[in-house]
A and B are shown apart, each in its own frame.
Chain A
Amino acid sequence: QSALTQPRSVSGSPGQSVTISCTGTSSDVGGYNYVSWYQQHPGKAPKLIIYDVSKRPSGVPDRFSGSKSGNTASLTISGLQAEDEADYYCCSYAGSFTSVFGGGTKLTVL
């Protein structure tokens, strides 16, 4: 179970859109539609923002969207706001009742 690959950092200006990628293998991301995304502000617990590749929990703004192509999942944040500045983690089912997380991406709102 190797960690999923995410860019270490991305940045964007308020109002812009950014996309964070999450690359795995056919044994995890590519094999199942069980990719989830979490937002983590400093000193806080992660918060679920996307599940099942593209579904949003109640209360999560529709500025957050998810998709997947092959072994790579993506999180897009449109209309960037200052409060979106945080760390973002992807997670995937990896078979045999196990999960694997990505290494995390730091989003900076310029």
Chain B
Amino acid sequence: QLQLQESGPGLVKPSETLSLTCTVSGGSISGTNYYWGWIRQPPGKGLEWIGSIYYSGSTYYSSSLKSRVTISVDTSKNQFSLKLSSVTAADTAVYYCARRAGWDWYFDLWGRGTLVTVSS
């Protein structure tokens, strides 16, 4: 059974770069028609799509975060990663990794999420 698990520092200082990794277990990222994405949720607020990546490396980002976001994939480790630069307190959120079918537009599998707090 495919599972996604986020990992990374729970505390990041303002102006620094937030880095998270999503490890996919129970199946392969490579050669499958799925996109792998990041979605975040500030405390007490709604969901925000950050971006997605295909195993080949094609990336798509939210226009509001595009200047600060980089999503990459490491097929040898069955992982994909998120980097968000120049963070502020507004970037404090639970960050989820999720899978989207390549032939459709819904997120059918989610990680449990990880809280990242931006604070000095």
Binding site for B on A (CB under 8 A): 1, 3, 32, 34, 36, 38, 45-48, 51-52, 57, 89, 91-93, 96-104
Contacts and interface: CB of A to CB of B under 8 A. Distances in A.
Given A46-B47, A101-B46, A34 B111 contact: no
Given A98-B60, A99-B100, 14 more contacts: A3-B48, A34-B104, A45-B110, A45-B111, A45-B112, A48-B108, A51-B105, A51-B106, A97-B60, A98-B49, A100-B49, A101-B39, A101-B46, A101-B47
> Lowest 6 CB-CB distances: which A-B pairs, in order?
A34-B105, A51-B106, A36-B106, A97-B60, A104-B46, A45-B110
A19 to B, nearest CB: 19
Contacts of A101: 39, 46-49
Contacts of B104: 34, 51-52
Contacts of B45: 104
B47 A32 contact: no
A52 to B, nearest CB: 7
A5 B61 CA distance: 21
Contacts, number: 66
21 contacts: A32-B105, A36-B106, A38-B47, A45-B110, A46-B47, A46-B96, A46-B107, A51-B104, A51-B105, A51-B108, A52-B104, A57-B108, A91-B49, A91-B107, A93-B105, A96-B60, A97-B52, A99-B49, A99-B105, A101-B47, A104-B47
Interface residues of B, number: 24
Contacts of A89: 46-47
B104 to A, nearest CB: 7
Interface string B33-77: 000010100000111110010000000111110000000000000
Most central of B96, B104, B112 by chain A CB within 10 Å: B104
